[in-house]
A and B are shown apart, each in its own frame.
Chain A
């Protein structure tokens, strides 16, 4: 069974940085696109960015371009989201998702709170 476990969330001040991780199991991680999806409190989901199986192709939301970077380590079955220059509006639960063009599996999420 597919299992995705996010970690690394917490409270950070505006302008700060945080690195999220996602540990994947139950499937051949290196064969799949992967995405990060976030959900601000009381709002709907929002796709943040994704990465292709070999890590060479990435897409991201305009509002995070230049601040957030998606990466992966296929040897460790892990997905990462490096978040810099964080803003209050980045406060959300961040989900790791297997990207089959749609998100067929999502993790339980990790909460990121940007606040002074």
Chain B
């Protein structure tokens, strides 16, 4: 199974300041079709996970442009340009290049 390792595991951010989360994969997520199957989710307190970014860098419908994703192969990053109160929660990366689809262990983001 592919293992996704996120760092840091927790992050305390001042509102208006940037934040960055890393996700490293045990195998390349670049498929033969040219796509890279890495996604980012946010789970707000008491809610289901919601997708933010698909295929490394594409924002899902309705996701604010302060969220951006980058990376390639095995190393990926989610950046929040200016953290807002509604961004609090746990962020997960996920891969779907092969079954089983797997998630990172999560990064908890809260406000200072």
Contacts and interface: CB of A to CB of B under 8 A. Distances in A.
Decide if A and B are genuine partners.
yes
Interface residues of B, number: 22
B51 interface: yes
Interface residues of A, number: 19
Contacts of A109: 48
A44 B104 CA distance: 8
Contact of B37 (A59, A101, A103, A108): A101
B76 interface: no
Contact of B92 (A35, A45, A61): A45
A81 B102 CA distance: 19
Interface of B: 37, 39, 41, 43, 48-51, 54, 60, 90, 92, 94, 96, 99-106
Interface of A: 35, 37, 44-47, 59-62, 95, 101-104, 106-109
